[in-house]
Homo-oligomer: A and B are copies of this chain.
């Protein structure tokens, strides 16, 4: 079920020791990224938190950005799979509720990724994957350019979800689905004249 990182460089041995190393690094980064952006996290403190030697980091990742990208890309793929139905289904509100339910269910993870120092990377990767998806499955004609629609929708989604998970007394997933639908989904539809 878990999508493994698709970092090409390492041979088939990625099931042994180095897999555990990478998992430890990912979890350590996830814990650190909650409080500060990547630039303020040193590789030394990251490896210390993961219980891994400093030099080992560079045998698994080329630089500091590579690990964050790995982590973010995997999780975004899951989120994107729940985002696509918003626009290919007839009942968009139901799909939006499913999306919110999932985010709420894993709110610890998404709070870390969205409200912490990975927010920028999240939006960038989300948009990148969403634009790739659009090319595969082109939507019908619309009153606004398709890539603008994608960029706006993703940016709005990230913004609203971030606000939600940052809030100390957060509204229910049901209410948030209403907000998302009204702000980031419905406005993209063809205006009926």
Contact = CB atoms under 8 A, between A and B. Distances in A.
Interface size class of A (residues with CB under 8 A): 20 to 34
Interface stretch (A2-10, A93-101, A104-112, A148-156): A148-156
Contacts of A156: 152, 155-156, 159
Contact of A151 (B120, B152, B163): B163
Contacts of A183: 144, 152, 187-188
A10 B144 CA distance: 48
A119 B92 CA distance: 31
20 contacts: A120-B120, A144-B179, A145-B163, A147-B163, A148-B160, A148-B163, A148-B179, A151-B163, A152-B156, A152-B159, A152-B160, A152-B183, A155-B155, A155-B156, A155-B158, A155-B159, A156-B159, A182-B187, A183-B187, A183-B188
Given A147-B163, A151-B163, 4 more contacts: A144-B179, A152-B160, A152-B163, A182-B187
